[in-house]
Amino acid sequence: MKKIVILAAFLCNVLTISAQDDIRFGFQLSPSFSWMSTNNNKINPSGTNLGLKLGMIGEYLIGENYAFSTGLGFAFNSGGTLLHDYGGQYWRKSDLPSTLDTLSNGSKLKYGVQYLEIPIGLKMRTNEFGYIRYFLEPGISIGIKTQARGVINDPGQSGENEEKFNIAKEVNGIYMSWGVGGGIEYSLSTSTSLIAGLGFQIGFTDVSDDNGTVFDPRGNRSEDAKAIINAITIRLGILF
Asked if residue 143 belongs to a domain, the reply is yes
Alpha-carbon span 22 to 1, nearest angstrom: 33
| pLDDT tens digits, 204-240 | 999 998 889 999 999 999 999 999 999 999 999 999 9
pLDDT at residue 20, rounded to an integer: 58
Q: Is residue 24 predicted with pLDDT exceeding 90? A: yes
**Residue 203, in any domain of the structure:** yes
Q: Specify if 9 maps to a domain.
A: no
What pLDDT score was predicted for residue 210? 85
CATH number of the domain residue 162 falls in: 2.40.160.20
- Give the integer Cα–Cα distance in Å for 153 and 161: 6
The domain tally of the chain equals 1
Domain enclosing residue 98, as ranges: 31-239
Nearest to 180 by CA among 198, 195, 193: 198
Region of poorest pLDDT, from 11-20, 78-87, 112-121:
11-20
Is residue 11's pLDDT more than 50?
Answer: no
- Residue 8 domain flag: no
SS3 at position 107 = strand
Domain for residue 11, yes or no? Answer: no
- 192, part of any domain: yes
Would the pLDDT of 13 be above 60? no
Whole-number Cα distances in Å, 72 to 9, 15, 82, 109: 13, 13, 29, 29
Which residues are paired to 38 by β-bridges?
Answer: 227
- How high does pLDDT run on average in the chain? 92
DSSP string, 203-234: E-S--B----EE--TT--EE----EEEEEEEE
Angle at CA 86, nearest 5°, toward 83 and 89? 95
Percent of the chain past pLDDT 90, that is, above it, reads: 85
Amino acid at 215: F
Q: Is residue 60 assigned to a domain?
A: yes
Residue 15 lies in a domain: no
